[in-house]
Amino acid sequence: MQSVRAFLAGVAFLLPAVALACPALLNFTVPKLQDNSPQSLCQYEGKVLLVVNTASYCGFTSQYEGLEALYRKYKDQGLVVIGFPSNDFGQQEPGSAREIADFCRSTYGVQFPMMAKTDVVEPGTSPFYRQLIAKSGSKPRWNFHKYLIDRRGEQIQAFSSFTKPDSAELVGAIEKRLAEK
């Protein structure tokens, strides 16, 4: 019994240190799309992140296919694509979490992490997106705006909705970030 208490005290002592190690940009908890369970973005520390605000009924929706291809091609090297469905532009993501998740999986085979529907523009911009905007100097102007975040969670590069996932510009930037250790 004494050793269990000592172990728990040791773990409790370590937890604040782990929380402090997470880059400030990733120090957010957001709900997962499929089950609304809380997801700490700190779990992606040390990964290259491509954060995208998505929508199911948009002219750019076919980018899901390219985003999934990027994820599959580079995930073993440390890339994580994270989708944040948003209904902010043209009401193009009106569905429930289940409808969005089913659409992404059945239509585009999406396996990359998808978070719950999120406000990415004012007045209700989520705290995570507020940080992305502040650090990159770029606001989403439509669905499928992309933010590429380096492994340290410090450098952010923004790409417009018009930048396709397979564009040389985006792929080159991803490969550059993946090469950085």
User: Catalytic positions, please?
Assistant: 58
Which of 19, 29, 8, 30 lies closest to 118, judged by CA? 30
Distance of CA 114 to the CA centre of its chain: 7
Q: How many other β-carbons are positioned within 10 Å of the β-carbon of residue 141?
A: 11
Query: Rg of the chain's alpha carbons, rounded to an integer?
Result: 17
Residue ranges of E strands in the chain? 29-31, 38-40, 48-54, 79-85, 146-149, 156-159
Burial of 147 (0-12, 13-18, 19+ CB in 10 A): buried
